[in-house]
């Protein structure tokens, strides 16, 4: 599924965005599909949404895979308050903002894999202002109050070359007693798309043991 406001989803006002709201919409998809219980997999922002799903709907979430999740606590919120957002560029008539988007993201993507960066730019254009606002939405979330409510088995997927998330793995593991860690060497920011076979393998292995 697309996150509310992203991809092909409808575009409600940006002011309505919150991790809690995005999790509620994800749960409503389970309702629409007639799925009572499910394992959820989320990457980056999706991992934060997965935390809220597991905390808010414990009777419905049987397992959670948190890939490259940040730990959004008071320190994180303070560090991200008012700082420049990586995907925030000003649209320009000459299209140079597209090059800027590419340049800002390129250090976090594997060399030579133009396809991944092209897909990112397409997603960012489709998201419009939310391409940057999504980061602020994550930074407003009080994850430290929600982690103790997560009771299901959790897999923390750690991409070793993701500077935005890899450093949080230990603290998340300590805050989630039901968690285990699976490192993927060489994984970067676009891990599921960069190394899909390795990513799928750790997810399938985890789900086979719960």
Return the closest-CA partner of residue 184 out of 207, 161, 164: 161
Euclidean distance between the first and final Cα of the chain, in Å?
24
Are 58 and 149 contacting, i.e. CB atoms less than 8 angstroms apart?
yes
pLDDT classification of 94: cutoffs 50, 70, 90: very high
pLDDT reported for residue 129 = 85
Tokens encoding 67: 């890939």
Using 50, 70 and 90 to split pLDDT, how confident is the model at 111?
A: very high
- Tens of pLDDT, residue by residue over 118-170, are 999 999 999 988 888 899 999 999 999 999 999 999 999 999 999 999 999 99
Fold observed for domain 14-82+140-207: Rossmann fold (3.40.50)
- Per the structure block, which two tokens stand in for 3? 């996150």
For residue 196, the model assigns a pLDDT of: 98
In whole angstroms, give the CA distance from residue 141 to residue 4.
16
Per-residue pLDDT band for 84 (boundaries 50, 70, 90) equals: low
Taking the C-alpha atoms of residue 91 and residue 69, their distance in angstroms, rounded to an integer, is: 29
| pLDDT per position as a tens digit, 46-82 | 999 999 999 999 999 999 999 999 999 999 999 987 7
The predicted-structure confidence for 9-39, as pLDDT tens digits, reads as follows 989 988 899 999 999 999 999 999 999 999 9
């Amino acid at each position: 599924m697309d996150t509310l406001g992203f991809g092909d989803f409808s575009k409600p006002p940006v002011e309505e965005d919150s991790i809690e709201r995005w999790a509620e919409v994800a749960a409503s998809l389970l309702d629409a599909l007639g799925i009572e219980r499910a394992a959820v997999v989320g990457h980056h922002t999706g991992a934060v949404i997965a935390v809220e799903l597991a905390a808010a709907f414990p009777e419905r979430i049987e397992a959670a895979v948190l890939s490259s999740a940040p730990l959004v606590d008071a320190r994180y919120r303070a560090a991200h308050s008012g700082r420049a957002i990586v995907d925030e560029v000003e649209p320009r008539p000459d299209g140079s903002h597209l090059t800027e988007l590419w340049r800002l993201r390129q250090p976090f993507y594997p060399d030579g894999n133009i396809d991944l960066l092209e897909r990112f730019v397409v997603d960012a254009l489709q998201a419009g202002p939310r391409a940057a606002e999504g980061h602020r939405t994550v930074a407003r979330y009080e994850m430290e109050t929600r982690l103790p409510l997560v009771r299901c088995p959790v897999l923390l997927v750690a991409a070793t070359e993701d500077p935005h998330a890899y450093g949080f793995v230990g603290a998340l593991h300590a805050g989630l007693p039901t968690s285990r860690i699976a490192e993927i060497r060489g994984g970067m920011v676009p891990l599921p798309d960069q190394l899909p076979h390795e990513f799928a393998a750790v997810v399938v292995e985890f789900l086979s043991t719960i």
